[in-house]
Amino acid sequence: MIQAIAQEMYDKLEQTVREYNPAADFKQIRAAFEFAAEAHGSQLRKDGSPYITHPLAVAQIIAEELRLDSESIMACLLHDCIEDTGATHEEISKLFSPTVADLVEGVTKLTRMNYTSKEDEQMENLRKMLIAMSKDIRVILIKASDRLHNMRTMEYQTPDKQRKKSMETMEIYAPIAHRLGMQKIKWELEDLSLKYIDPVGFREIEKSLAGKKEEFGDVYRKVEKQISDRLNEMGIRHSIKGRMKHPYSIYRKMYRQNLPIDEIFDLFAFRVIVDSVSDCYNVLGVIHDLYRPILGRFKDYIGTPKPNGYQSLHTTVMGDAAVPFEVQIRTEAMHAVAEYGVAAHWKYKQDGQGGGSEGKYEWVRRLLENQEGADAEDFIHSLKIDMFADEVFVYTPNGDVINLPAGATPIDFAYSIHSAVGNRMIGAKVNGRMVPYDTTLKNGDIVEVLTSKTAKGPSRDWMTIAKSSEARSKIRQWFKKEKREENIIQGRSSFEAELKHNGFNPKLVLTEEHRAALLKRVSFHSFDELYAAIGYGGFTAQKAVNRMKEELRLFTKQAAEPAPAPEAAPAKQPEAPIFPDRRAKSAEGVVVEGLDGCLVKFAKCCTPVPGDKIRGFITRGAGVSVHRADCPNASDARIRPEDKGRWLDVSWGGTPRETYPTTLEVLGKDRSNLVLDVSAALSSTKVRVAALSARSLPDDNFVLHVDIDVKDIYQLNLVIRKIEQISGVTSVTRPAG
């Protein structure tokens, strides 16, 4: 059942699309139209027209203003099907294409989003989130066109809804249209919104503008001819176009500068486009020669471009009949930036200083260039939104939007709220569920931080989990203030480790007599101060050692000279290879003396890893069981006399396995976030965690068993050190026996 009016609109749509894209898939477009008409059935709009006229009108906007591809047109026609009729994603996907179904679903998602009025910064984030959430830019384009048509037909809604939708349009959709270079759509959205937000003001301006146009129409036409004639005389190639400013831009000026409309100068503006920059200034000379410039109204945005890259000369002059008007003069290239230069604008907004890559926004330019014709089907496929790829937008439980760097975690979120929130954090929830601290936040997540007044503060590994420099520096601040003693110990041990790593003996070089000379190099007053700074991360051990190197070498040499110390040679590399002979016949990375290629398994009681001293036990029929040498089960005392002969020497060698399972036992004082901290520490070391179980012990103690897969003892020791650093942890051991 297709109503005559719908058929008529559809025919017009098809004709419009055919004009810019004759290769469009009209069979499928028609099928989408018929499907939508069927789905909406006898549903009516508020004005009494068949509902299908709305999707048709939206598709018409998309075709006329943006010249989008077949899939977009289909998605426009189907855009309210999921929301309003029983249609499903699968159905649309099967009948049309998965892309069309995704587009429709994307539009539906945005339709369901609910906005309440917010502060400016919040609005900015909300707009960005909206764009970021619609992975395909076409979703936003369709949604904006949908909104435009709804605004055009808003008069049939209740006054309350009119105001609400208009505010939303003004705050969300008009700025988005602006960013996407849809200047015409933006203006119309603004004017339509203003009509409902301030009906009296709007009508006044509209009336006044119509009056001025009527009154001065002849004057403007004369001016245009005057300018054009003079430029022709001078042989300056140009195009000139005059236009009435649109009501909302006038309204904003009146409101901002608190002026009555008669005192707004530039109700009318001419735009002159020329070939070169020098011509721009020539035209300016001509204008100022023809008309009297109004003082203080000349702006040279060519010499000093706006931060968003906009370039143009602006001047306001007084015409013959004392009618002021504005003239904007620019080159073709500057005009392109002014019209389509959304990219530059975004870039500026994003990092506040105008850096960034131009290529990132290439698609916007292409989108707009494409309006000049060319192949609509082709380019649109690559229109994937990526301008906010390095940001993520999440909600607070109150619905505020927080903007964080991509990859941000609950720790970043907490510190972006306030350092006190971060420092008191004892847990985090995402979308209502408890999560570990290293969870990566996604667009639209609702994040909640659990805090406690008795929280012990951040742990050191938060510094590596946090992605934002804000969070890291706040954590560092905390350590600097709260943990001086701990910092000194920590800093000292990293400093001494760094010395050893560089082949210096701390005992030899850090004597009382040397200290002053060394400190001079790093501008700290005492070694405690230096250690504290290294401890909280304000300075690095590497930097300190590097700066002291000359002295360190000298002191080392001096120490060696009087009596050449037998152990003067630099410390042996601690990380001697664990698997010395890759050719040895082995299984699982273990060489069994005298037994080639026998079955090897690792004892569950002590879970040895490469680097451990090991012993092998020949089991009855199950190969060789490998124990740590220090495992009680392998101690001589426990070996039964009849089994003595079954023990044999084994060593690490041959081709190792990728990882070896092992177990750690963590003892600590019970506090609610300790398990989370441990799992966060583990994930920061990238080892795989096979199991993690916690048990409470009397007196507020607890024990945690962690099964992990590690490469070797070095990696294991790293993990142990990480866990040991967590506040509340009293010991980390490897159970055996």
Which residues contribute to the site for Mn ion (CB under 5 A)? Answer: 80, 146
Long-range contacts, stretch 727-730, CB < 8 angstroms, 24+ apart? 727/456, 727/457, 727/459, 728/456, 728/668, 728/669, 728/671, 728/674, 728/677, 729/666, 729/667, 729/668, 729/674, 729/678, 730/667, 730/668, 730/669, 730/701
Determine contact, residues 130/95, Cβ cutoff 8 Å.
Answer: no
CB nearer Mn ion, residue 57 or residue 559: 57
- As a whole number of angstroms, the distance between CA 61 and CA 53 comes to 12
Which SS3 state, helix, strand or coil, does residue 690 take? strand
DSSP 483: -
Q: What share of the chain is helix, strand, coil (3-state, %, to 5)?
A: 50, 15, 30
- As a whole number of angstroms, the distance between CA 316 and CA 207 comes to 23
Min dist. Cβ of residue 270 to Mn ion (A): 38
Q: CB atoms < 10 A from the CB of 339, how many?
A: 11
Q: Which H, E and C letters describe 452-464, residue by residue? A: CCCCCCCCCCHHH
**707: nearest Cα among 607, 601, 596, 582:** 607
CB nearer Mn ion, residue 7 or residue 111: 111
Min dist. Cβ of residue 7 to Mn ion (A): 20
CB nearer Mn ion, residue 146 or residue 188: 146
Determine contact, residues 326/268, Cβ cutoff 8 Å.
Answer: yes
CB nearer Mn ion, residue 30 or residue 45: 45
CB nearer Mn ion, residue 146 or residue 461: 146
Scored b (16 or more CB within 10 A) or e, 466-495 reads bbbebbbbbbbebbbeebbebbbebbbebb
- As a whole number of angstroms, the distance between CA 388 and CA 409 comes to 17
Min dist. Cβ of residue 21 to Mn ion (A): 23
Min dist. Cβ of residue 173 to Mn ion (A): 13
CA angle 257, 207, 189 (to 5 degrees): 70
Nearest to Mn ion by Cβ — which residue?
Answer: 146
Q: CB atoms < 10 A from the CB of 688, how many?
A: 12
Min dist. Cβ of residue 146 to Mn ion (A): 4
Distance from the first to the final alpha carbon of the chain = 81
- Sequential DSSP letters for 297-337: --EETTTS--TT----EEEEEE-TTS-EEEEEEEEHHHHHH
CB nearer Mn ion, residue 29 or residue 466: 29
Phi-psi region of 132 (alpha: psi -120 to 50; beta: other; left: phi over 0): alpha
CB nearer Mn ion, residue 66 or residue 342: 66
Distance of CA 66 to the CA centre of its chain: 28
Residue type, 271: R
Determine contact, residues 335/151, Cβ cutoff 8 Å.
Answer: no
DSSP 444: T
Min dist. Cβ of residue 111 to Mn ion (A): 7
Min dist. Cβ of residue 139 to Mn ion (A): 13
CB nearer Mn ion, residue 146 or residue 191: 146
CB nearer Mn ion, residue 146 or residue 438: 146
CB nearer Mn ion, residue 79 or residue 472: 79
Which residues form the catalytic set?
83-84
Measured over all CA atoms, what is the biggest interatomic distance in the chain, rounded to whole angstroms? Answer: 121
- As a whole number of angstroms, the distance between CA 287 and CA 326 comes to 10
- As a whole number of angstroms, the distance between CA 646 and CA 637 comes to 15
Min dist. Cβ of residue 136 to Mn ion (A): 17
- As a whole number of angstroms, the distance between CA 556 and CA 506 comes to 10
